Amino acid sequence: MSDKPAVSSVQKGDVLLVLVDNPPVNAISQAVRAGLKEHVEKGMKDAGTKAIVIACEGRTFVAGADIREFGKPPAGPSLQELLNGMEAGDKPVVAAIHGTALGGGFEIAMACHARVAVKDAKVGLPEVKLGLLPGAGGTQRVPRVAGALVGLDLCTSGRMVPAAEALKFGLIDKIVDGDLREGAIDFARTLVGKPLKRSSQQQQPFDAAAFDKAAADVLKKSRGAMAPAKIIDCVRASTHGDFKEGEAVERKNFMELLVSDQSKAMRYVFFAEREVLKVPSLEGVNPRAVTKAGVIGSGTMGAGITISLVNSGMPVTVVENDQAALDRAMTRFKSTWERDVKLGRIDQATMDKRVALLTLTTQFEALADVDIVIEAVFEEMKLKKEIFGKLGKIVKAGAVLASNTSYLDIDAIGESSGRPADVIGMHFFSPANIMRLVEVIDGGRSAKDALATGVAVGKRMGKLPVVMGNCDGFVGNRILAAWRKVADMMIEEGAYPQDFDAAMEAWGMAMGPYAVGDLAGLDIGMRRRKEFAHLRDNEKRDTGAIADAICALGRYGQKTGAGYYKYVDGKRTVDPLVTEIIDKVSKEKGITRKPISADQMTSWVHATMVNEACKILSENIVSRPLDVDIVKLNGYGFPVWRGGPMQEADRVGLDKVLATVKDVHKVAGKGFEPSSALEWMVANNKKFADIKPGDLKGK
């Protein structure tokens, strides 16, 4: 460990420049808090110092709390003590912001008497993403400076605010074009001898009706998450009374969240998203060099993949069947980037550079010299085999050939190429330029460095790659298929789609399964059921009758105006015809329908997820429970505040989950037997948190 202090200072004439240096992101460790307190107090006491500037070494301003201190007893000084003392000082303190000032880092800046920043700096309060709230005055100082609506937005969204927007809100006072530190020192000198603007003492006009509406919108979107509701309480407290009263409300709510199951789950996710990138089976394996890519197909998925690659700075060759498809693709690419320019996310020069990275063609031969090809055509094995047969002959040796398939056999696709070691799966999620998850699939004969390349390219695209073995549906869709059958079974037994969707959404899912089905298109599932009908095990309960009856009427979901629901002017309504279809199917199957509680719906779905995940772990498709959690959280709308199905199972208790699995099995029958791995865990009093990579293999 370095003996270099986390905080130092240097005198610049009558200004003390205090420097934080705690790589890699200047996190607020105990040493940083103590160092800041020491050097700021030194400047306050020194007669020759007229002002103080706080700046940071390295690539960023203070970017938040030190995650290494999570869960440990607090060590003084507290951040509140530091900030309140600094703000109360009689000499101006100016924050010089570059990179990002996030969480506690932004709270440090807000306790300064002024803030200057470089033009590409960003600020924000992302604590809500950990199930927490800003606990060092953030919910009080930000709304007192920028207004309650801005404070509510920043604290509940956790979004990063660009410097120009922060300037407009009054959250920074100046954007520095030249040297940041010199600009901050000059600005600090202009404040000497003038009344100091203390964030805690400011107050903006408050529109109660507008705030109530914004708060209601936040609660509607949060779907059971605790932190947004607590933040609303805190921000509201900033609009009346003095700072001390608001700070007390903030402290009380912060401490309640800190010990909550929700925050514990979200902090688990924070660490799991970092751990999932450390793939045990690829330890020490270097990826192949990738400088240019190819994408086959420019529909919704192919276009999203292309946009993500180009946004990462990668030249991309797009292959389509005809020029008309390519013209549509270019229109889609440009409209996406034009929207980004309009929203201020990029400038026109950046858009022009991105367009220049594109090559659009109908010729497969144009892919001869690319380093990775990602195929994104229709989900049909015959077509994919044909394409990979061409790629195996055309694309240079050593290039990685990836299929964006959601459930097809990567082994079979790899064999068709004649070079299976180069073939991997890369299952993206729609819209691929927005969704973070990508399942990277080992085709059995896939080379380790090909898999490592898939991971590296995914990370470059800003994705969260999860490596897994080959099976029908891989991890995400395999688990989805299992619990959707249980959902369909409960619809036959007594529930209705609107009841089920309402229960799952109240439980925290972004959308219920039947609304999702209508959105995605019911014809996709219909074609899959027909394609694999000859492989169906007749001893297993068939739950596709209701969906087939709905599809037989040409009702494929939103695109046809009707599916499980009816859609009029974009509004979803319950359709009595669907109720009739469901009742008829139940009667034909000899089922006496009975009411099913929301608790049964959600507990049976969750238990089925966990049971199928245990089978996946036993088969070593993935080796860690966290792999499953990251997939379900980032691709399937699982509520983040529950931490993923495996984390949620630990909270519920695996003995209770196993009992529910047994209840499901009694009704669902073959295919839903309790996993032997789950039974082993219960018998041995294990939790998923106890499981190390490979522990459940063969169990």
Kind and range of the H or E run holding 175 = strand 174-176
Q: Is the pLDDT of residue 623 over 70?
A: yes
Q: Please report, for the chain, how many H helices and E strands are present, in that order.
A: 28, 19
Q: What is the pLDDT of residues 227-270, one digit of tens each?
A: 999 999 999 999 998 999 999 999 999 999 999 999 999 999 99
Taking only the tens place, the pLDDT of each residue in 62-87 is 998 876 776 677 778 999 999 999 99
| Alpha-carbon distances of 626 from 280, 623, 643, rounded to whole Å | 13, 9, 10
With a CB cutoff of 8 Å and minimum separation 6, the contacts of 697 are 617, 618, 619, 620, 623
Asked if residues 106 and 138 have their Cβ atoms less than 8 Å apart, the reply is yes
Give SS3 for 72. coil
Tokens of 208: 């109660």
Residue 569 CA to residue 549 CA, distance in Å, equals 24
Asked if the peptide bond before residue 431 counts as cis, ω within 30 degrees of 0, the response is: yes
Amino acid identity for residue 658 in this structure: L
Q: Say whether pLDDT at 697 is over 60.
A: yes
**Rg of the chain's alpha carbons, rounded to an integer?**
28
* Cα–Cα distance, 177 to 195 (Å, whole number): 26
107 noted as active-site residue: yes
What is the DSSP secondary-structure string of 481-547?
HHHHHHHHHHHHHT--HHHHHHHHHHHT-SS-HHHHHHHH-HHHHHHHHHHTGGG--TTSPP--HHH
Give percent above pLDDT 70 in the chain. 99
* Domain spans, the chain: 7-259, 290-468
Distance (Å, whole) CA 636 – CA 658? 23
Query: Tokens for 214?
Result: 């914004």
Q: Check if the beta carbon of residue 320 is closer than 8 Å to that of residue 360.
A: yes
Alpha-carbon distance 455 to 579, whole Å? 46
Q: What are phi and psi of 302, to 5 degrees?
A: -60, -40
Summarize pLDDT for 624-679 with one digit per residue, the tens.
999 999 999 999 999 999 999 999 999 999 999 999 999 999 999 999 999 999 99
Q: Considering the entire predicted model, what is its pTM? A: 0.91
338 is catalytic: no
- Average pLDDT over the chain, rounded to an integer: 94
d(CA 381, CA 320): 18
- The CATH topology of domain 7-259 is 2-enoyl-CoA Hydratase; Chain A, domain 1 (3.90.226)
pLDDT per residue over 278-336, tens digit each?
999 999 999 999 999 999 999 989 999 999 999 999 999 999 999 999 999 999 999 99
Q: Which of 81, 87, 107, 375 is catalytic?
A: 107
Write the pLDDT tens digit of every residue in 566-608. 999 889 999 999 999 999 999 999 999 999 999 999 999 999 9
Q: How many CA atoms lie within 13 A of 303 on its CB side?
A: 17
Q: Give me the pLDDT at residue 71, please.
A: 67
Cis upstream peptide for 134 (omega within 30°): no
Assess contact for 351 and 338: CB atoms under 8 A: yes
- Partners of 7 in beta bridges: 20
* pLDDT class of 2 with cuts at 50, 70, 90: low
From residue 366, give the alpha-carbon distance in Å to each of 305, 317, 436, 493. 18, 7, 29, 55
Q: With 80 as the cut, is the pLDDT of residue 1 above it?
A: no
pLDDT digits (tens, 9 = 90+) for 129-178: 999 999 999 999 999 999 999 999 999 999 999 999 999 999 999 999 99
Compute the average pLDDT of residues 334-352. Answer: 92
Contact call for residues 98 and 265 (beta carbons, < 8 A): no
Measure the CA–CA gap between 643 and 649, rounded to whole angstroms: 10
Per-residue pLDDT band at 102 (split at 50, 70, 90) = very high
- Closest to 403 in 3D by CA, of 549, 552, 297, 269: 297
Q: Backbone phi, then psi, for 12, in 5-degree steps?
A: -115, 80
Q: What distance in Å separates the CA atoms of residue 435 and residue 412, rounded to the nearest whole number?
A: 27
Give the residue carrying structure tokens 């329908």. Answer: 593
Across 239-371, the runs of DSSP E, i.e. the strands, are 293-296, 316-319, 358-361
Q: Is the pLDDT assigned to residue 9 strictly greater than 50?
A: yes
| pLDDT (0 to 100) of residue 680 | 97
Distances (CA, A) of 643 to 166, 231, 448, 604, 638: 32, 20, 30, 18, 8
Longest dimension (CA), the chain: 91
Q: Which of 641, 645, 643, 678 is nearest to 662 (CA)?
A: 678
Q: Which of 87, 127, 415, 492 is catalytic?
A: 127
Residue 351 is predicted with a pLDDT of 96
CATH of domain 290-468: 3.40.50.720
Decide: 236 and 208 in contact? Cβ < 8 Å: no
User: Who's near 25: CB < 8 A, 6+ residues apart?
Assistant: 58, 59, 60, 62, 63, 64
Taken in order 70, 233, 144, 172, the sign of the CA dihedral is: positive
Distance, in Å, from the CA atom of 174 to the CA atom of 168, rounded to the nearest integer, reads 10
DSSP 20-49: E--TTTT-B-HHHHHHHHHHHHHHHH-TT-
Half-sphere exposure of 591 (CA within 13 A, CB side): 20
